[in-house]
Every structure is written in structure tokens, then in C-alpha cells.
Structure 1
Amino acid sequence: MNNMQSGILESTPPVSRYLMFSLIDHGEARKGLLALREIADGRQTVVGIGQSLVLALGATVSGLRVFPSYAGAGFEVPSTPFALWCWLRGDDRGDLLHRARRITHALMPAFRLDQVVDAFTYGTARDLTGYEDGTENPKDERALEVAFVRRQGDGLDGSSFVAVQQWVHDLDRFEAKSTQEQDNTIGRRRIGNDEIKDAPPSAHIKRAAQESFDPEAFVLRRSMPWADGLRAGLVFVAFGASFDAFEALLRRMVGVEDGIVDALFTFTRPISGAFFWCPGMHDGRLNLRQLGLIPS
């Protein structure tokens, strides 16, 4: 598939920068998006569009919706929608800074930059707890099936839906657990990454075993650690042909099905959550036909 944003399929880069924008001038939205279209290559800069922006353009994208929120005993999962999301990928933080400045200027005055999160690769694709992340990611043809829309027509084919959350870890609390408690929280052993067959039902692996759903709930994860001063955690990023698989995973994590809450909440919490539609590509540019934006 050459009509997709190829950065979605590639492995996570050494460094990333995530930009979240709100729409402040509806009349300039089209101009701003067309300017962004000239910058975003879909590989080093991946773009996602929120429901509010789609509606402001008088368009519809089937399957696009607002991130759900949940609250339970000792945890909250917030919904924090944004109009636009840009994932800047690379290996040089200076380059990401200048690319972010260029994008922000191109989107003015229609959009306001509301949030910036810098992320990085830790070890061999590990979370800051030291555990491997994305172990069960689909690969090759299966990854294409899981992550991208197919057979829906020009404007939708090659597009993807992405769920983005920023999680803040309490690493002191996690490190206060015994090694066994840490392993049982994740459901895998940090050394060797072996799954623990008799892990408690609250273990994250037990809660989020993608093959255990009916239908199976596979997503293509592209999560990365982040840090700002002494605050740190994970930017969770999951792509899919729809939001159905992610929502099934999230409902089980918060205990909607059986009242068992994912043990992750004992040391980490999400502070944001947003859904975006990532358009496909056409002739090396974002395919914005679904939004009624067809450059001359």
C-alpha cells in the first residue's frame, strides 16, 4: 500500500515530538490544512485530524468519534479532544524543533499549539519501568490489515485511526514493589520477557491479551517513553482500521466486563486521551479528499 502515511508502519524512531492543536479560526482552517499538506510527508511527519475539525469543515469521516472517558475506584481515564495531532519522527531533536516551528507557523492563524510532548526510545523499545513494550504487535501483512482502512474508496483507503494517551508513571511507587510484584503487575518477566502463565487476572497482559477478545482486538502500537524534568511516563499510540479494538481493550482495562481493573493503575495514570483520523496519501501529499479539500 503506497497510499498510506508510511511512518505509521515503520518502527518507532530514536526521538519523537507530538504536537496537539486546537482550532481557533474556522474560516482559516482550510488554508491551514492545505499549508500543512505541503509539509507533512507521512513518514517523518504523521498527521491526525480530530472530530471537531472534521465537523468544522462540514465533512464526515465514518468511524471517527471522541475518545471515551472512564472513572472508577482509584483511577480516571480522561477524554481530552484536540483538532489536530502531528507526530514528528526523527533522530535529531534540533531537527524536530525546527520542523515543529515550521508546522506551527504554517497553521497560523487557524490553529493554536496547545501541547508539546517530547519522547524517545529507551533501550530496546522498553517502557521506563524496564519492560519491553509492544511485544505482541502484528507484523508484515497482518500489520497492514490491522492498522489501515481498505476497500472504502478514494479518500478513505490507506487512512488509519489512532488513539493517543499520555500516561504519567509513579516510578518510585513501582520501584517500591518487589520484583515478583512488578512482574505480576505487567504479566511478563522483565528479564527474558517471558509471559507469566499464572499471573493474577489484574496483570496487564491478562487484561490486554489481544487474541482473547471476540473478535480479536489487535492494534498497531507505536508508543514511546517521555520525560519532562522528573515527570515521566509513556505516550501510548495505537493505530487501527477502526477504534473498535482499542475501545475493547480499554473497557477491559477499566473493568467494565468483570470489575477487575488493570494493575497498571497501581503506578501510572493517563492525563490525556484523544482520537484522530490519519488520512492516506496521494502523490506524496496528504489525501484530504474526504474533507472536501482537493487542491487545484
Structure 2
Amino acid sequence: MANSTGDHPWQRVPIEPQSVDAPLSRAAVFLVVTVADTPEALATARDVISSISDLVKTVGFRDLNAHLSCNIGVGAQFWSRLTEVAPPVELHPFAEVHGAVHTAVATPGDLLFHIRAERGDFCFEFERQLLDLLGDAITVQDEVTGFRYFDARDLLGFVDGTANPTGGDMADAAIVGAEDPAHAGGSYVVVQKYLHDLSTWNRLPVPSQEGVIGRTKVENIELDDVEHGQKAHKTLTTITDDQGVEHDILRDNMPFGRPGQGEFGTYFIGYSRRLWVIEKMLERMFVGDPVGSHDRILDFSTAVTGTTFFVPTRGFLEGLSG
């Protein structure tokens, strides 16, 4: 793609997305931090994120087959501190969604580091060096270590991410285009940490579990939508616009857990070209469609975090050093 021109250094770098389309990895770390409100902390954050590619190379050279990568997302409230560039058109803080029974909560976050690799030790070492560089400029708000569970299943026992777009459809679903030329190549991302009540879930008969999810548990075959009554999770998270066009997102969810602490969960991370698509999904899950008929998965899975970020291009990040 040809170089852009403009007043900002990042505009003179080729528009190259971050590793949004990297394949599902065997290990991941999801790190959400806030940046201290001082000039020194801001300068440190700028230096670190503008040179993040160098840190990926420093850690990743030990085994290129580990495919280490790190995507950086910038929160809405931190955007104006980080840069004078106008924010992406849809970027705003995560809006809590209040249903009659369940709530999608909003939690703080200035920066998201989505670290992925085929080896867990690479994620660990990258995060260790990253936090050493950031030092006391940041406060960790949430840190989750995810892992591949069997054949890409969540801890509820179902395959996760089956509906992800592929090929050219992936870019259309996840990468901002000409509708926001100043931020073309970027992506909106929403993260939520869900904790599962596995003991209650596992007492549910498998056919009932399949009705909640909308797929068979063993074969991962999609079930038909119900014509009346409670809709399944896969139906509520299928979004179409007023013209009947279906809009996908790119999920890179990971299970996590600490059995000794009774903690079992799924870390939801959804990349999207259009933030409103994810927001509509959450509205349908928590408020219900029709209203009052919420996603039954929420009776077993509680959202304890919720934050929205924008993942700019590599050129934008590199330009922050200027």
C-alpha cells in the first residue's frame, strides 16, 4: 500500500495493521493497564509502545516458530493524552449494559497488550520485559494468562470461535477502511473477562447445554434457530443491519483458570471494523431479544471486566516516538 502524507510522523509510514489476523495461538496474555497522570509516565508509555516491534524481535528471535506477537490497544480516555491526532470516529469508553438480570460492567483501561505465542514461556518473558520497561509509569488493572484447551474449546466444553471470518472476509469484518481514512488499517477491540460457574453448568444435561449455545457439544454442528421462545447464544450474537447484511467480528477468545482457587473462565476479545457491531451483540445478550429474554449463557458466566480500545496501525505506534 502506498505511503500516506501529512503532518504527523505516523502518516509517512505504510498503513500496516498490527497482528489482528494472527491465527489462534496456544498461549496468550491479556494485559490491561492504566498510565499515571504525569508527563514522565506518558513519555515512558510513548517510548515503550512506539518500539514494541523491537521488543517482539528481542524476545521472539529465540524461536521464530513460536510466532510471538503483541497487539496494542489504546483506550478512549487515554487517546487524547497520547496523541494530538483526532480519535477514531466510533471510539468511546465501554458503555455498561444493564439487563433485568445481568450487567456488562465497565472497568478502567488505558492500554491493552494482547500477547500471543505458540509457547507460554515466550508470552511470560515478553510480559516480564514489557513491565520492566513500563515500570511505575503504569498500574496493572487486569492480567489474564490464557491457554489453548483441547481442540479450541472453552471451559464449558464447546468449540469457541467457529464463526470467525477467514480470508478477505476477515479484513472486512475487523479492519477499518475508507469510512475513517485517518485510521484505516486499525481495529476496534472489546475485552471482557467472564467467570464460569462450572459446577452448576456441568449439572445441566448436555442437550440443555446445546440449546443454550446453539451448537452440538461433541461435533460442533450448528443447530437451527428456534422460531419461538428463548434464542441461543449463537443466534443472539449474529448481527444484521437494517439492510439485512450480516456483520461478523474476529474473536480470539481464550480459556483461563486456577482450579485451586475455583476460578474458571473465558477471556472474550473481539476485533471489529465497526464498534457498534460488538455493542449490539452485548445489548442482545444482556438486555435480550426480545427485551427481557437474556442470553442464558449469562446464568452461568459472569462478566467481571469490560473495556474498549482501538488498535492503530504499526505506523501510528512507531510515529509516537516523533
Task: Give the TM-score, by structure 2 length.
Answer: 0.82
Aligned equivalent of 1:272: 305
- Greater shift, 23-32 or 119-128, is seen at 23-32
Matched, 1:99 2:129: no
Contact 1:23 1:83 in 2 (8 A): yes
Tell me the alpha carbon deviations over residues 189-230 of structure 1, each in whole angstroms, 9 at most, x when there is no partner: 112212221545331122112358744231111111111233
CA distance in 2, matches of 1:219, 1:198: 20
Which stretch has the larger CA shift, 21-30 or 204-213? 204-213
Residue equivalent to 1:189: 216
Query: In the alignment, does 2:47 pair up with 1:34?
Result: yes
- How far residue 232 of structure 1 moved from its aligned partner, in angstroms, is 1.0
Shift of 1:116: 1.1
- The answer to whether structure 1 residue 54 and structure 2 residue 79 are counterparts is yes
Q: CA RMSD in A?
A: 2.2
Query: Could you tell me which residue of structure 2 aligns to residue 216 of structure 1?
Result: 246
Matched letter for residue 172 of structure 2: E
Asked whether 1:180 is paired with 2:207, we answer yes
Higher helix share: 2
Residues 215 and 69 (structure 1), Cα distance of their counterparts in 2 relative to 1, 3 Å cut: farther
* Residue 143 of structure 1 pairs with residue 170 of structure 2: yes
Q: Aligned in 2, Cα 1:172/1:149: closer, same or farther, shift over 3 Å?
A: same
Q: Deviations over 1:103-154 (max 9, x none)?
A: 1122233222232100011111111111111111111111011111123445
Question: Structure 1 36/106 Cα, relative in aligned 2: closer, same or farther at 3 Å?
Answer: farther
Q: Which amino acid aligns with 1:22?
A: T
Query: Out of 91, 94, 101, which is 1:74 matched to?
Result: 101
Q: Which residue of 1 aligns with 2:9?
A: none
Structure 1 unaligned residues grouped into runs of 5+: none
- Does residue 263 of structure 1 match 2:289? no
CA shift, 1:241, in A, is 1.2
Given that residues 211 and 232 in structure 2 are in contact (C-alpha distance below 8 angstroms), is that contact kept between their aligned partners in structure 1? yes
Partner of 1:170: 197
How many equivalent residue pairs? 287
> What secondary structure sits across from 1:287 in the alignment?
helix
Normalising by structure 1, we get a TM-score of 0.89
Partner of 1:254: 286
CA contact (8 A) 1:67 1:81 kept: no
| Structure 2 gap segments, 5+ residues each | 2-14, 58-67
Which segment is superposed worse, 52-61 or 84-93? 52-61
Deviation at 1:19, TM superposition (A): 1.0
Are the counterparts in 2 of residues 104 and 113 from structure 1 also a CA contact under 8 Å? no
Cα 1:251/1:184, change in 2 over 3 Å: same
